[in-house]
Structure 1
Amino acid sequence: MSDNNHDISTLNGLIETTIDSADGYTEAAKDSDGGRFVTLFTSRATERREVAARLQQEVARLGGNPEDDGTVLAGAHRMFLNLKAVVTGHDDKAIVNEVEAGEDHIKAKFEDALGDMELTPAVRSVIEGCYTSVKAGHDEMRDIKHSMQH
């Protein structure tokens, strides 16, 4: 297993970030003003949980213990967002801005991993497959954010 430690560590970092993203989408769906974004956010949360499950399967295949929770920092960030939502009201534009910032974060994490030349080809392939979904989510939220600024 020692040969797999770097792959497992990288995958587990992505799992945490992806779970954070799924949790963020779930919270955004709860905080959203109306039905316009609830379906989108709920769908993205489900998609992110599927990505996390795929990464977890790869960690297990490598003989590691897959992460099954997000990061403590992200939990604290969501608590702050919930407080902010209570103070400012459930403003969809503010929620989309926060979601898009989270999308920038997860996209960067996956891109960093893809730039890691120490990963095995099999793990890189799994990450590339998951990145397709992450990038699509990022691009969609970026486009929505820009459309709301006009």
Structure 2
Amino acid sequence: MGVLQHIQHQISALNDLIKINNDRIAGYQKAVENTDETGLNLLFNEYIDQSKNFVSELREYIHVLGGDPAEGTTLSGKFYHAWMDVKATFINKDRHSILSDCERGEDIAKKAYRTALDDKELIWEDEKVVSILNNHMESLRIAHDTIKSLRDTANV
């Protein structure tokens, strides 16, 4: 793989992570719409802000690489959120189901970051981007564990 192809591959991988974070933002916005619990809404808004910050860091690094940052969400994210909309019209969203949906979203985000970090064709030579991705991964792990813990203690 040539240098230009390598850089394009990095830009593509980082753009995928931007889209995953945009999915995460949309998912938590939907969760905020589905609950009146102040504590959950505060947490969900914190995670929305967290993903916005992640997107900002990723966009900045894409610019360093000479690329154009992505907009929007992933196609699968659009289908997932459309399904959440349909599902919400048929069933009453309780705390447990909202948190279950959020946990699934966190699983998807963690997997996307793991895939980018483990991609053998992506030789992340710049320690700054490796540090950014690892910091995002750790924050996503903590968010996942928090959501999972809340879900596990929710009255079903």
Q: CA deviation at 1:143?
A: 1.5
User: What's the C-alpha RMSD, in Å, of the aligned pairs?
Assistant: 1.7
Q: Is 2:11 aligned against 1:11?
A: no
After TM superposition, the runs of 4+ consecutive aligned structure 1 residues lying more than 4 A away are none
Distance 2:39 2:132 in 1: 32
Tell me, yes or no, if the aligned pair for 2:95 and 2:155 is still in contact at 8 Å: no
Q: May I ask how many residue pairs the two structures share in their alignment?
A: 150
Q: CA deviation at 1:149?
A: 6.2
- Once the two structures are superposed, residues 5-37 of structure 1 have per-residue CA deviations (whole angstroms, 9 ceiling, x without a partner) of 121111111111111011101110111143231
Question: Normalized against structure 2, the TM-score is what?
Answer: 0.87
For 2:18, what is the secondary structure of its paired residue? helix
Equivalent position to 2:142, from 125, 136, 139: 136
Q: What amino acid does structure 2 have at the position aligned with 1:113?
A: A
Runs (5+) with no aligned partner, structure 2: none
After TM superposition, the structure 1 = structure 2 runs for residues 47-62 of structure 1, keeping only pairs within 5 Å, are 47-62=50-65
Q: Percent identity?
A: 25
Distance 1:119 1:28 in 2: 36
Equivalent position to 2:112, from 96, 109, 113: 109
- Once the two structures are superposed, residues 80-102 of structure 1 have per-residue CA deviations (whole angstroms, 9 ceiling, x without a partner) of 21221121113121110011011
For 2:146, what is the secondary structure of its paired residue? helix
Identify the residue that residue 124 of structure 2 maps to in structure 1: 120
Equivalent position to 2:41, from 38, 43, 50: 38
Question: Normalized against structure 1, the TM-score is what?
Answer: 0.90
